[in-house]
Amino acid sequence: MQIGDVEPHFMNDPVGTVGALRQMVRDAQKTAQTAQAPQTQAELERWMDQRLQRHLQPFQLEREQRLDNDASNRFDGVFDRQFKTAFPNGLPDSNREALAGIAWQILLDDKPRFEALRRGDESVIPQAFEQAKATLLKVVNDYREHEKQRIATPPPQQAQPGKKPMSLDDMISNIGNPNVPQENWFRR
């Protein structure tokens, strides 16, 4: 279509002019693509490689996803065996999930080990499991020690200015006295 070809479309059907213009754009794009044909052997090879990569991209993405899924399935199987061996009496589900999450993240963070797992090398999983187990046990033990110290250390008493704590004799003499607030009974 040439520029003069638009006038008849516009006179007969103004809305149809849009379709004619779109066709003109498509034709111009096709001629632009053929005008950029490679001139040398190197340009031809580069052009072919680019087209090949573009056409193979969906297959490569599918292959990458399959490798990731296979690695995840391998991890789950070996992790289950390692978990049953290391913790024959089991652990709470939250601890198991935390351990699996830590081990998986260790593998993801270490690219060579993750690539080895994707290629089928399951020997990297026990190493990650042991690292994750050590990390989880350290967190649990640190928390347990913190709680022991927190419970063993009495809370600081907030003495009210001008008031001294009730003595045992005062407490005994005030048993049943409704005028004595209950917090005075437990302040010691």
Tens-digit pLDDT profile for residues 64-105: 899 889 999 999 999 999 999 998 998 889 989 999 999 999
Alpha carbon distance 188, 159 (integer Å): 10
Listed as ranges, residues in the chain with pLDDT below 50 are 188
Q: Residue 162: its pLDDT value, please?
A: 59
Q: What are phi and psi of 97, to 5 degrees?
A: -65, -40
Global pTM value: 0.54
Q: Residue 33: its pLDDT value, please?
A: 59
Q: Residue 130: its pLDDT value, please?
A: 93
Q: Residue 10: its pLDDT value, please?
A: 67
Widest pairwise Cα distance in the chain: 115
Q: Residue 149: its pLDDT value, please?
A: 84
Closest C-alpha to 125, from 113, 112, 137, 141: 113
3-class DSSP assignment, residue 70: helix
**Single-letter code of the amino acid located at 160:** Q
Q: How many CB atoms lie within 10 A of CB 141?
A: 10
